[in-house]
Amino acid sequence: MCSFQLARRRALLQSFAAPCAVPNSTMNQLWKRCFTAIPAAASKLAGLDPTKLTVTKTSTPKELTAAKNLVFGKTFTDHMLSIEWTAADGWHAPQIVPYQNLSLDPSACVFHYAFECFEGMKAYKDNNGQVRLFRPNKNMARLNKSSSRIALPTFDGDALTKLIGELVKLDSRFIPDARGYSLYLRPTMIGTQKTLGVGPPGSALLFVIASPVGPYYPTGFKAISLEATNYAVRAWPGGVGDKKLGANYAPCVLPQLEAASRGFQQNLWLFGEEEYITEVGTMNLFVAMKNKETGQKELVTAPLDGTILEGVTRDSVLALARERLVPKGWAVAERKVRMAELAEAAQQGRLIEVFGAGTAAIVSPVRKISYKGQLVDCGLRENEEAGEIALQMKNWIEGIQYGDEEHPWSYVL
Amino acid sequence: MCSFQLARRRALLQSFAAPCAVPNSTMNQLWKRCFTAIPAAASKLAGLDPTKLTVTKTSTPKELTAAKNLVFGKTFTDHMLSIEWTAADGWHAPQIVPYQNLSLDPSACVFHYAFECFEGMKAYKDNNGQVRLFRPNKNMARLNKSSSRIALPTFDGDALTKLIGELVKLDSRFIPDARGYSLYLRPTMIGTQKTLGVGPPGSALLFVIASPVGPYYPTGFKAISLEATNYAVRAWPGGVGDKKLGANYAPCVLPQLEAASRGFQQNLWLFGEEEYITEVGTMNLFVAMKNKETGQKELVTAPLDGTILEGVTRDSVLALARERLVPKGWAVAERKVRMAELAEAAQQGRLIEVFGAGTAAIVSPVRKISYKGQLVDCGLRENEEAGEIALQMKNWIEGIQYGDEEHPWSYVL
C-alpha cells in the first residue's frame, strides 16, 4: 500500500479507540466518527496547486446556443478543467483543455464499481458583468466528504475553487447576462485504476465541465406534484445517502418513471415504518405548517441524519429563515416529519405550503402529494403556482447569487 | 420518450393495478412485483443479433503472462466484445475489436449517476482442450435484472452467451490449461448518454473483457477472517443490494480498509437490530452447524430477501447440498441467521464450519469472525485451512466446471 493511502488510513484510524462493536442505537454517531473527510494535508504527496495550471485554448470555439434554446446539461462550453491524481505522486498539474472525450481503459474502476462523485454549482453574471459563484466552499467541502467516503482522494477546496474560477473566466462568454440564466458547473471525480480487483483506486481524475442553463421556470413558477414512495428506498442509516455519489442516482430513475407514469414529477422518498419524509432525490423538502397544539407557524425540514443530501440550498434556506422569518414570528426546525403528520396538517387546514430546495430551481413549489391512494393538497390555491415563503426564498437567494445584495455567500471571481 | 422506452414502461406498468401505497409489511412483495426484468421482446427495435457480428483482429497480439504471475483482473486478452444500444434503434451490430480504451464524453451518464452493472463468470479449458462456461444462463438472467433495475436495456441472454463464446474462442490461447486456471469474463453495461439530466439513458454500451486468472488459493486453501460490520450497512430492503450494480461496490471499500487495518480480510455485513448475517460483499456466506434443539446437521445461508446478491455459486452450493448432502443426513436451509446465533453455536461447540461462496474462489473457508470485541472461532482446527463441506463443494463444482463430470451446468463452446 502506498504511503498516501497509509497516511489516509492512519488518519481514519485515529478516530477508532476500539473495534466498532456497539449497540445499534449509537450506530449513527459511531458512523460519523468513523467516516469523516480526511484532509489532504495528511499526505506528504503533491497537493492541488493552482499555480501549476496550464491552459490549452480551443482552436474551434463553439457557437453560442440561443439562450431560449438552452436545455439543462446538454450543451457545454469550449473548455474543461482536468486534474489527474495518482497514489504515487498525489495531484498532478491542473490543466484547462478543450472540451473533449475521456479515454479510459475498459477495466477502469469507474465503469465497474461506481467510484464516482460530483457537485452541482453555478456561476452568475451580475449587473456589472462580474461573474460570481455561490457558497463554493460548501460544494468543495461536500465533494471532499463524498470522495473520501469511497476511497477517492481529497483536495484543497480553495485551490479547486480558484481553478474553477479560471475555467469560468475563460468561458464566461457562455453565461447569458440575463436574470435566471447561469453557468452550471459540474465538478466530478472518478476512479481510473485499470483493475477488476475491488479496492481503493490507485489513480483518479478530477474534472469540471460547464453547461450554460436557463431559468428552471422560464415562464414563472410551475408547481409540481410528488408521489410519496415507500416501495423503493433511496437511503438508509449507515448507508451513503448523504453523499453526492453516482451510486445514489441510477437506482432512483425507475421509481421516477413509475411516478411519472401516474402523473407525478418526482418521488418523495419516505423512510421506515414511521414513513418519515426524507427528500426528493434531486432536492430537499421544506414544509410550512401551523403547529397542531400551539398554532405556531413552522418551517420544517428533515434533519441531517445520514439519509438525506446536505443541500447547499437547504442550508441557505434554513439560514435565511432563521435570520429573516423568525423575527416575523416563524419557528424554524430541522426535525423528522411523518408523512401522516403532513397529511393530517393538510386535512386540518394547517398546511401552509411545501417546496423543494436545490441548486437547479432554488425552490420548487409543490401542489400535491400522492399518498396511500389519496392526494394531499399542499395549500396552493388553484390559480397559484408558488406560496409566499417559496417566493420570498427565491428572491432572497437569487438576489445574493446575482449580487443585488452584497452578501458573504457571493464569491466574486 | 422513444417507442422502446414507452414499450418498456408499458410492460412495467402491466404489473401495477393501483398506486403503490401499502403497509410496510408487504413492501418486499410489492417491490418484487414492481421491479422485475423486462424482456427485450417487449420492444420492436433491433434485438441482440449474433449473426451480425463483425470481427476485427488485433495486429499486435500480446505476449502471454506466465501463469504463475497472473493477478486477478490486471491483464487482459487481445480482444473485447462491444455492442452499442440506442433508444432509437435498439441493439447495434455486435463487434469484436482489439482491446482498447473507451472514448466517452465527460457528460456521459455513467460518470455521474452510476448507470453501470456487470457480471463475473469464467471460461475453463477441459482435459480435451475444449473450452467451457459454467451456468452462463444464470449470469445472463442476472445481468438483465440488474440492467432493467437502472433503466438500462435488456437483451437476449442466449445471444450474448453465443457472442461471449466467440470472444472466448478467439482468445482461447490466453486460458492456461491447468487445473484452477481460467479466463475471467466481465460483461459490463454502461449508460453513455451525453447529458447531466437525471433520467433513463438514451444510449448504452455493453462490452465484455476477459482476464486470464490463476487459482484463488495457489498453494491450497488459506482460511480468511471476517469482521462482523454493523456501523456501515451494505444493503436495505427496497434497495438494490441484490443487483450486480457498480453502486453496491465503491461504498464498501472504506469499511473493507477499516477491517483490513484490524487484520480482517473482509466485512461480514450484518443487518438490522437483529444483526442478521447477510453476505461478505464479494461472496455469499454458508454456515454449517448442529441444530440447538435436535442436533441435526444444517447447512444454512441467508434467503434472497432483496439485501443479498443472488450468487450463482450460492445457488450451485445449495443445489448440490440438496442433491448430495441431504441423503447423507444433512438439512439445507435458506433462512435468516442472527450473528448472535452463530456466536452461540460456536461457544456451544455446535458450529461445524463457515465458508464464503463466489465465482472468484468457489468457496473460501472462514477461520474466525470478529464480533463485539470477541473472536468467534468458526470450527477449523489450527492446522486446517478448510472444512469438509467447503472442500467437498469445491471439488464437486470444479469437477463440473472443468468437465470431469458431465453435467448440464457446463456449457461447451
User: Is the separation of the CB atoms in B198 and A253 below 8 Å?
Assistant: yes
Do both A395 and A278 map to the same domain? Answer: yes
Contacts of B18 in chain A (CB under 8 A): 373
Report chain A's C-alpha Rg in angstroms.
22
Query: Nearest chain A Cα to B265, which residue?
Result: A199
Q: With CA atoms as reference, report the closest residue to B36 among B5, B7, B15.
A: B15
Tell me, yes or no, whether A79 lies in a domain: yes
Q: Is the pLDDT of residue B187 over 80?
A: yes
User: Is the separation of the CB atoms in A111 and B188 below 8 Å?
Assistant: yes
Mutate to test the interface with A, among B196, B205, B275, B307 (most CBs of A within 10 A): B196
What pLDDT does B68 receive?
A: 87
Cell triple for A378 = 399542499
Burial class (CB in 10 A: 0-12, 13-18, 19+), A62: middle
% of chain B residues with pLDDT over 90: 84
Tell me, yes or no, whether B276 lies in a domain: yes
Cα separation of B306 and A233, whole Å? 12
Tell me, yes or no, whether B98 lies in a domain: yes
Do both A119 and A83 map to the same domain? Answer: yes
**C-beta atoms of B151 and A372 within 8 A:** no
What pLDDT does B12 receive?
A: 42
Of B35, B106, B148, nearest to A102 by CB-CB distance is B106
Of B13, B19, B34, nearest to A370 by CB-CB distance is B19
User: Is the separation of the CB atoms in B68 and B109 below 8 Å?
Assistant: no
Give long-range contacts, CB 8 A cutoff, 24+ apart: B378-381. Answer: B378/B346, B378/B351, B378/B353, B378/B354, B379/B288, B379/B346, B379/B351, B379/B352, B379/B353, B379/B354, B380/B223, B380/B353
Q: Is the dihedral of CA B140, B141, B146, B151 positive or negative?
A: positive
What pLDDT does A219 receive?
A: 75
Mutate to test the interface with B, among A20, A213, A266 (most CBs of B within 10 A): A20
Contacts of A272 in chain B (CB under 8 A): 24
Complex prediction ipTM: 0.92
Element (H, E) at A299: strand A297-301
- Composition of chain B by helix, strand, coil, percent to 5: 30, 25, 45
**C-beta atoms of A211 and B196 within 8 A:** yes
Mutate to test the interface with A, among B253, B271, B273, B283 (most CBs of A within 10 A): B253
Contacts of A368 in chain B (CB under 8 A): none
With cell 447423507, the residue in question is B328
Of A106, A233, A246, nearest to B113 by CB-CB distance is A246
Do both A207 and A260 map to the same domain? Answer: no
| Cβ atoms < 10 Å from Cβ of B301 | 23
**C-beta atoms of B231 and A195 within 8 A:** no
**C-beta atoms of A199 and B256 within 8 A:** yes
Tell me, yes or no, whether B68 lies in a domain: yes
Contacts of A240 in chain B (CB under 8 A): 251
**C-beta atoms of B112 and A188 within 8 A:** yes
Q: How far is A95 from chain B (nearest CA, A)?
A: 15
Give the mean pLDDT of chain B: 90
User: Is the separation of the CB atoms in A278 and A308 below 8 Å?
Assistant: yes
Burial class (CB in 10 A: 0-12, 13-18, 19+), A315: middle
DSSP code per residue over A204-225: EEEEEEEEEE--SSTTS---EE
Q: With CA atoms as reference, report the closest residue to A278 among A247, A296, A300.
A: A300
Tell me, yes or no, whether B300 lies in a domain: yes
Mutate to test the interface with B, among A117, A196, A338, A369 (most CBs of B within 10 A): A196
Q: Where do the DSSP E strands lie in A214-275?
A: 224-229, 266-271
Cα separation of A354 and A369, whole Å? 10
Residue B198 contacts by C-beta under 8 Å, 6 or more apart in sequence?
A249, A252, A253, A256, A281, A282, B113
User: Of A178, A194, A213, which marks where a domain is finished?
Assistant: A213
Any idea what the CATH number is for the domain that residue A208 is in? 3.30.470.10
Q: With CA atoms as reference, report the closest residue to B107 among A254, A116, A174, A107.
A: A116
Contacts of B281 in chain A (CB under 8 A): 198
Tell me, yes or no, whether A117 lies in a domain: yes
Q: How far is B349 from chain A (nearest CA, A)?
A: 23
C-alpha separations of B201 from B109, B114, B192 in Å: 7, 11, 7
Contacts of A99 in chain B (CB under 8 A): 106
What pLDDT does A40 receive?
A: 41
Residue A179 contacts by C-beta under 8 Å, 6 or more apart in sequence?
A215, A398, A402
**Would you mind telling me the total number of residues written for chain B in this entry?**
413
Taking residues B221-236, report their average pLDDT.
Answer: 95
Q: Taking chain A, what is the end-to-end CA distance rounded to the nearest angstrom?
A: 40
**C-beta atoms of A253 and B22 within 8 A:** no
Do both B252 and B204 map to the same domain? Answer: no
Mutate to test the interface with A, among B111, B121, B236 (most CBs of A within 10 A): B111
Do both B179 and B246 map to the same domain? Answer: no
User: Is the separation of the CB atoms in A251 and A41 below 8 Å?
Assistant: no
Mutate to test the interface with A, among B5, B83, B96, B112 (most CBs of A within 10 A): B112
Query: Nearest chain A Cα to B374, which residue?
Result: A21
Do both A69 and A170 map to the same domain? Answer: yes
Do both B71 and B173 map to the same domain? Answer: yes
Of A13, A106, A253, nearest to B198 by CB-CB distance is A253
Any idea what the CATH number is for the domain that residue B279 is in? 3.20.10.10
What pLDDT does B190 receive?
A: 98
Domain containing residue B76: 50-213
Q: How far is A250 from chain B (nearest CA, A)?
A: 5
pLDDT in tens, B158-185: 999 999 999 999 999 999 988 899 999 9
Element (H, E) at A391: helix A388-401
Mutate to test the interface with A, among B34, B103, B105, B107 (most CBs of A within 10 A): B107
User: Is the separation of the CB atoms in B83 and B207 below 8 Å?
Assistant: yes
Do both A115 and A229 map to the same domain? Answer: no
**C-beta atoms of A250 and B211 within 8 A:** no
Per-residue pLDDT of chain A (413 residues), as tens digits, is: 344 444 444 444 333 323 333 344 454 554 444 444 444 444 578 999 999 999 999 999 999 999 889 989 999 999 999 999 999 999 999 999 999 999 999 999 999 999 999 999 999 999 999 999 999 999 999 999 999 999 999 999 999 999 999 999 999 999 998 889 999 999 999 999 999 999 999 999 999 999 999 987 777 789 999 999 999 999 999 999 999 999 999 999 999 999 999 999 999 999 999 999 999 988 999 999 999 999 999 999 999 999 999 999 999 999 999 999 999 999 999 999 999 999 999 999 999 999 999 998 899 999 999 999 999 999 999 999 999 999 999 999 999 999 999 999 999 99
DSSP code per residue over B332-364: EEE---BHHHHHHHHHTT-EEEEEEEETTTEEE
User: Of A189, A213, A237, which marks where a domain is finished?
Assistant: A213
**C-beta atoms of B116 and A76 within 8 A:** no
Of B240, B246, B373, nearest to A21 by CB-CB distance is B373
Q: Where are the alpha helices (DSSP H) in A150-189?
A: 157-170
User: Is the separation of the CB atoms in A53 and A166 below 8 Å?
Assistant: yes
Cα separation of A359 and A134, whole Å? 10
Q: Is the pLDDT of residue B3 over 80?
A: no
Beta bridge partners of A212: A183
Do both A107 and A202 map to the same domain? Answer: yes
Query: Nearest chain A Cα to B146, which residue?
Result: A251
Q: With CA atoms as reference, report the closest residue to A106 among A190, A204, A194.
A: A194
Chain A to chain B Cβ contacts (< 8 Å) = 282
Tell me, yes or no, whether B83 lies in a domain: yes
Number of domains present in the structure of chain B = 2
Query: Nearest chain A Cα to B262, which residue?
Result: A19
Do both B252 and B209 map to the same domain? Answer: no
% of chain B residues with pLDDT over 70: 89
Tell me, yes or no, whether B10 lies in a domain: no
**C-beta atoms of A73 and B107 within 8 A:** yes
Return the minimum-mean-pLDDT range out of A33-37, B230-234, B374-378, B397-401: A33-37
Contacts of A189 in chain B (CB under 8 A): none
Q: How far is B294 from chain A (nearest CA, A)?
A: 31
User: Of B213, B244, B260, which marks where a domain is finished?
Assistant: B213
Cα separation of B48 and B189, whole Å? 14
Taking residues B254-260, report their average pLDDT.
Answer: 95
Do both B194 and B278 map to the same domain? Answer: no
**C-beta atoms of A253 and B74 within 8 A:** no
Q: Is the pLDDT of residue B19 over 60?
A: no
**C-beta atoms of B116 and A115 within 8 A:** no
Contacts of B31 in chain A (CB under 8 A): 231-232
**C-beta atoms of A99 and B113 within 8 A:** no
Q: How far is B282 from chain A (nearest CA, A)?
A: 9
B29 pLDDT band, cuts 50/70/90, is: low
Taking residues B382-406, report their average pLDDT.
Answer: 96
User: Is the separation of the CB atoms in B401 and B386 below 8 Å?
Assistant: no
C-alpha separations of A128 from A3, A243, B124 in Å: 48, 36, 69
Contacts of B113 in chain A (CB under 8 A): 246, 249-250, 253
Q: Is the pLDDT of residue B37 over 50?
A: no
Do both A166 and A292 map to the same domain? Answer: no
Query: Nearest chain A Cα to B105, which residue?
Result: A101
Select the highest-mean-pLDDT range: A206-220, B218-232, B351-365. Answer: B351-365
Query: Nearest chain A Cα to B192, which residue?
Result: A111
Return the minimum-mean-pLDDT range out of A246-260, B14-28, B303-317: B14-28
**C-beta atoms of A103 and B105 within 8 A:** no
Q: How far is A303 from chain B (nearest CA, A)?
A: 19
**C-beta atoms of B112 and A229 within 8 A:** no
pLDDT in tens, B362-377: 999 999 999 999 999 9
| Cβ atoms < 10 Å from Cβ of B41 | 11
